Amino acid sequence: MQPFIDTFVHQFMMPVETSQFILALWLLDARRFSEACSILTHPNIDLRMYAPAVLNILFDFGEHSLALRFYRAKHAELRTIEDGTVALRVLLANNLVSEALMLERKLSRTNLQCYDLNILENLLYFIFNDRVSKNDVPGLFNLPLDSLECNAL
User: Are 58 and 33 within 8 A, CB to CB?
Assistant: yes
The confidence score (pLDDT) of residue 61 equals 94
The confidence score (pLDDT) of residue 5 equals 62
The confidence score (pLDDT) of residue 12 equals 77
Reported as a single tens digit per residue, the pLDDT across 115-126 is 455 666 777 777
The confidence score (pLDDT) of residue 110 equals 65
In whole angstroms, give the CA distance from residue 121 to residue 81. 14
The confidence score (pLDDT) of residue 75 equals 75
The confidence score (pLDDT) of residue 68 equals 94
The confidence score (pLDDT) of residue 25 equals 85
Across the 153 residues of the chain, what is the mean pLDDT of every consecutive 10-residue run?
67 77 86 89 79 89 93 80 84 87 77 56 73 73 72 68
In whole angstroms, give the CA distance from residue 94 to residue 96. 6
The confidence score (pLDDT) of residue 6 equals 66
The confidence score (pLDDT) of residue 119 equals 67
The confidence score (pLDDT) of residue 7 equals 73
The confidence score (pLDDT) of residue 114 equals 47
In whole angstroms, give the CA distance from residue 13 to residue 32. 26
Q: Long-range CB contacts (< 8 A, 24+ apart) of 135-144?
A: 143/97, 143/98, 143/101, 144/98, 144/101
